[in-house]
């Protein structure tokens, strides 16, 4: 079956299937504490002109944050989330006093929002019906088989914009200066604050020039010459080597759910499109146009980590 690529589908599925989990599969402590009480849904965290804002609204706002932001925990964002909700509630109250909900512009926007909710609910329901434990475990077994025993490395890098600076850093490292500290001070990549730590990766999972260079090194070695990639010039140090370990199913269940959900959604949409009569026209509405080509399903992902 051919597969349609749906813009924004990945984000929708992540929210749909991982909303009960924090990054890494662990619940945020404050979030877990809120769930212990069956009455936590009714906890009032603020009042605006007497109208309550509930704890569950804070929880929902926190879950809507990007994964990177959620790592800091709910407590870190609590004040900002609360103030955003307070401002939102205030503006809503004043807008309703003017009966703005009865204006045509608001009604049109409500209709669009309703259509989006109905669309997501319909697709989500179809996906959930097919997302059985057996389907998830089958996907897990396939990934485990594919990844078992793979060689992987953990490396650090310093990313700079010029070859000249990269060569200068290599000389400093060769005189005994600490690689991680030099990365923190000089790297222009996001890994700078971690001392350039790229984490673990197998061949082909990192941008090719970086991956190739890292796998040629021995543990503790640094590249003799700068490595060029699309992102700039890299100085790379190999920290460790190992055979890839397969985590238990429960540890990666959320990731498996998102992966299976995305595949099922594409298959469901493709099948529905096959059954549905659709007529397409040019922008001026005068000329019929053909349906877009669809991608054939592939088992291998070409997504690679970016050494930032």
pLDDT one-digit tens code per residue, 89-123? 999 999 999 999 999 999 999 999 999 999 999 99
User: Of residues 250 and 38, which shows the higher confidence score?
Assistant: 250
Q: What is the chain's mean pLDDT, rounded? A: 86
Q: Are residues 17 and 136 in the same domain?
A: yes
Q: Are residues 183 and 120 in the same domain?
A: no
Whether 200 has a pLDDT exceeding 90, the answer reads yes
Show the domain range for 13. 9-141
pLDDT mean over 61-77: 92
User: Of residues 240 and 301, which shows the higher confidence score?
Assistant: 240
Q: Residue 14: its pLDDT value, please?
A: 43
The model's pLDDT over 134-192, given as tens digits with 9 standing for 90+, comes to 999 999 999 999 888 889 999 999 999 999 999 999 999 999 999 999 999 999 989 99
User: Of residues 10 and 277, which shows the higher confidence score?
Assistant: 277
For 68, residues 6+ apart whose C-beta sits below 8 A from its C-beta are: none
Proportion of the chain above pLDDT 90, given as a percent: 75
pLDDT mean over 244-266: 93
Report if residue 219 sits inside a domain: yes
For the beta sheet containing 151-160, the strands, ordered from the edge strand earlier in sequence to the opposite edge, are 197-202, 151-160, 232-243, 227-229
Distance CA 257, CA 264 (A): 10
Report if residue 276 sits inside a domain: no
Q: Residue 26: its pLDDT value, please?
A: 38
Whether 234 has a pLDDT exceeding 50, the answer reads yes
pLDDT band, very low/low/confident/very high, at 293 (cuts 50, 70, 90): confident
Residue after which a domain boundary falls, among 121, 141, 161: 141
**CATH number of the domain enclosing 164:** 3.10.50.40
Distance CA 258, CA 265 (A): 10
Helix (H/G/I), strand (E/B), else coil: 219: coil
Q: Are residues 178 and 69 in the same domain?
A: no
Q: Are residues 99 and 214 in the same domain?
A: no
Q: Are residues 18 and 114 in the same domain?
A: yes
Number of domains in the chain: 2
Q: Are residues 95 and 31 in the same domain?
A: yes
């Amino acid at each position: 079956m051919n597969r349609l690529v749906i813009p924004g589908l990945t984000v929708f599925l992540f929210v749909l299937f991982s909303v009960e989990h924090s990054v890494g599969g662990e619940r945020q402590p404050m979030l877990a504490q809120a769930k212990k009480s069956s009455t936590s849904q009714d906890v009032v965290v603020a009042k605006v002109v007497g109208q309550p804002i509930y704890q569950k609204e804070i929880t929902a706002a926190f879950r809507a944050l990007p994964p990177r932001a959620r790592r800091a925990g709910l407590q870190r964002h609590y004040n900002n989330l609360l103030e955003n909700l307070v401002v939102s509630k205030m503006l809503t109250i004043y807008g309703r006093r003017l009966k703005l909900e009865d204006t045509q512009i608001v009604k049109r926007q409500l209709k669009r929002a309703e259509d989006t909710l109905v669309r997501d609910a319909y697709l989500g329901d179809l996906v959930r019906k097919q997302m059985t434990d057996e389907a998830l475990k089958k996907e897990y077994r396939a990934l485990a088989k594919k990844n078992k025993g793979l060689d992987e490395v953990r490396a650090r890098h310093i990313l700079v914009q010029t070859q000249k600076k990269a060569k200068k850093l290599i000389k400093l490292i060769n005189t005994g200066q600490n690689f991680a500290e030099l990365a923190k001070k000089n790297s222009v990549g996001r890994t700078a604050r971690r001392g350039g730590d790229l984490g673990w990766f197998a061949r082909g999972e990192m941008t090719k020039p970086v991956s190739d260079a890292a796998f040629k090194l021995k543990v503790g070695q640094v590249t003799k010459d700068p490595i060029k990639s699309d992102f700039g010039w890299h100085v790379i140090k190999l920290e460790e080597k190992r055979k890839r370990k397969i985590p238990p199913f429960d540890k990666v269940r959320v990731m498996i759910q998102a992966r299976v959900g995305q595949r099922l959604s594409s298959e469901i949409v493709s099948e529905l499109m096959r059954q549905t009569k659709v007529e397409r026209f040019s922008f001026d509405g005068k000329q019929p146009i053909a349906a877009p080509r669809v991608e054939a399903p592939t088992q291998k992902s070409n997504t690679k980590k970016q050494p930032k």
